[in-house]
Amino acid sequence: MPYGYRDHMDNGGWGAGWIVMLIVMLVFLVLAAVVVWFLLSGSRRSIGGSSAEPSRPTPEQVLSERLARGDIDPDEYRARLAALRESQTAP
């Protein structure tokens, strides 16, 4: 009876090596997912400048957008813009 190869095959062929290989593969996949997540979250933060809420438009920007959409006419725009600037300079 040959000893060597046959004895190796009697315990399933792989022994406990497949368990170690499975654990190593899972650890690798988790680390790869974490790296991808950090790269994507970092790029989103750098686009906005910070991770805080996006800034709200100023009143002048809202007024300009309303003029561009046609909600108000140029005369009303000028009057409202003057009123905004007056209220900002008043104490």
Least confident of 19-23, 40-44, 56-60: 40-44
Angstrom distance (rounded) from CA 89 to CA 86: 5
More confidently predicted of 23 and 51: 23
Contact predicate 65/57, CB 8 Å: yes
pLDDT-derived band at 89, boundaries 50, 70, 90:
confident
pLDDT at 59 over 60: yes
Q: What is the DSSP code string of 4-71?
A: SHHHHHHTTSSTTHHHHHHHHHHHHHHHHHHHHHHHHHHHHHHHHSSSSPPPPPPHHHHHHHHHHHTS
How many angstroms from the chain centroid is the CA of residue 21? 32
User: Token digits for 53?
Assistant: 């809420």
Rounded to the nearest integer, the mean pLDDT of the chain is: 80
Nearest of 67, 52, 60 to residue 82 by alpha carbon: 60
